[in-house]
Amino acid sequence: MVKVVIFDFDLTLFDSSKIKHLMDKRQWAMVYKNIDRCSFYPNVLNFIEELRKKSIYIALVSNAPATYIKKVLKFFNIDFDFIVCYHDVNKHKPNPEGIHKVLEYFSIDKTETFYVGDNDIDYKTAHNAKINFYGVPWGTFSQKVQLIHYENHIDIFEKIKNNYSL
């Protein structure tokens, strides 16, 4: 049974492409001033609400700093059950340490979760943690990955049922 869905943040849930150049330069003060120029991808918030209705926890594992993640979530008034950011781990993605922290926090087995991301690093992170992975359609992958479509809740929950028993 799926108990937790783990997400990457930037370019998976949150379209930060308009401020990526500032993030790459580590100009965090400017990043924070421009959060309002960004948004969550369509249907992300509906999907999260559907997970909550099914009593499935949501977690983030991101290589971004916690201050940034928390400012974005506060700005958009969104709450996650557990967050692992850059400074919360010694080894960063694609090392599975962040995913292991989620598993430990919720006291769950690898079969009770999956990871959603937008690139090869996220895919490798899930692979290294030995959990299932779904990519977002706008992601960039060097191999074929199973995709998840936020706008189609039925599709998502069918994939969950096909891989796990809900």
Per-residue pLDDT of 4-47, as tens digits, reads: 999 999 999 999 999 999 999 999 999 999 999 999 998 889 88
Burial readout 24-43 (b: 16 or more C-beta within 10 A, e: otherwise): eeeeeeebbeebeebebbee
Give the type of residue at 26. R
pLDDT number for residue 47 = 87
- Report residue 42: phi and psi, to 5°: -55, 135
Does the pLDDT value for residue 165 go beyond 50? Answer: no
Does the pLDDT value for residue 152 go beyond 70? Answer: no
Q: State the average pLDDT over residues 86-111.
A: 97
Confidence of residue 1 (pLDDT cuts 50, 70, 90): confident
- By C-alpha distance, which of 109, 118, 99, 6 is closest to 56? 6
pLDDT number for residue 162 = 60
Q: At what angle do helices 97-106 and 120-129 cross, to 10 degrees?
A: 50
